[in-house]
Structure 1
Amino acid sequence: MSGTSMSRELQLLAEAFDYDLDDIRWFTINAMKSAFLPFDQRLSLINDVIKPGYAAL
């Protein structure tokens, strides 16, 4: 609908402010820390999905 995606928005952010993958990883983790989920679910997603996903990159 808006002609963009989260990946595209992060790419534009990285290009505009010269952020690298470590910066984007940190933004992603911080975003999950603030998500509307119970703490244990947020922690599980950070440790089991986000961190391994970025490590694979």
Structure 2
Amino acid sequence: MFDRAEQHFTSTPRTLKWRLVHAIEFELGLLIPGVFVIAWWLRLYFSNPND
């Protein structure tokens, strides 16, 4: 059952493209919050009056 489903997905050329699209979306989903966190941390770090 699983083999047949897997075969069906691999036989369609569109799934590779969609897999790539979802991978990029996933990467961006991690990257964008990460950039905001780093920017916020740097702002906090450089605005520290004790340093």
Say yes or no: TM over 0.5.
no
Instruction: Classify the TM-score, shorter chain.
Output: 0.3 to 0.5
Higher relative contact order at CA 8 Å, sep ≥6: structure 1 or structure 2?
Answer: 1
Of Structure 1 and Structure 2, the greater helix share is in: 2
**TM-score between both structures, scaled by the size of structure 2:** 0.34
**TM-score between both structures, scaled by the size of structure 1:** 0.31
Q: Rg: which structure is higher?
A: 2
